Amino acid sequence: MPLLPNENDDHEENDEHEADDAYEADQPGCLRDGESARLLLGAGWNRLVVLGDGKASRRVERVDGYARAPWYDRVADALRTVNPRLACLSLLAGREQNAAAVRSRQLPRALAFGGDLAVVHLAGHDVLAPAFDVNALRTEVVRIVAPLREHGCDVVLVAPFDLTRSPAAARLGEKVLRTRQRAQSDACANLALRHGALFVDLAARHPAAAGGRFWGADGVAPNARGQALLAAAVVRALGEHLRCSRTAPAPPADGYLTLPAGCLLQGASPA
């Protein structure tokens, strides 16, 4: 079911979003006032679909000064600054899933929706599993991204924030987790380039060592600050995509978009 432009759990939470906007816009890494409209000017996307292994959350863990809107609503709202009629379908489940479940359960519905833009968010559940096989993960992600591209959908593939500083890191240890996450990021960057998708590496953009606290208590779902940073990274990647596409050759008849090499491997730089 498409999300409505101003859908919220209740009016009290909607008021909270509005009260926090001015503070949040001044925080490092967050979208500035008017930035979304400037970056996305000329965007032609009409149908956004969101997939991923993270849990859908309508009640984001609070961080003082930040609105509690989930990242996918923030991205949809940003796109609606240039296209108020944008339809958005979030397929994130009520519980965490691995990449194989995203492919088997969410992908068919995403293809049926007929979107022209997809955001695939890998929250790190495969990385945090007791056993991790980067080749199996790569295969599953390819089986998600490739069909979306074949159906004419632009795809943004998002890798998680640095998991080594999350509460979940204690299960595996920092060294093991860092090695796994680096392997996942390398695999995703390569397959995104191969399939003409955009890749945003949140761990590279917002390293935990820089003092960022963006995890909720469960160590997997971002808190309110993390939701804001995640959405900003996606919007800026889309904005850079539009900037690059204006200078790239026209796409061939099959509808695939060819960008200058390396244009978006890490997402756009903050404005």
Three-state secondary structure string covering 238-249: HHHHHHHHHHCC
Q: Which residue's structure tokens are 């469960």?
A: 218
**55 or 260, which is more confident:** 55
pTM: 0.83
- Answer yes or no: are the C-beta atoms of 184 and 251 closer than 8 Å: no
pLDDT digits (tens, 9 = 90+) for 27-39: 888 999 999 999 9
Residue corresponding to tokens 């900003």:
232
Burial environment of residue 229 by CB neighbours within 10 A (0 to 12, 13 to 18, 19 or more): buried
Q: Which residue has the higher pLDDT, 135 or 7?
A: 135
Average pLDDT over residues 131-156: 97
- Cα separation of 90 and 119, whole Å? 10
Digit-coded pLDDT (tens) for 234-244: 999 999 999 98
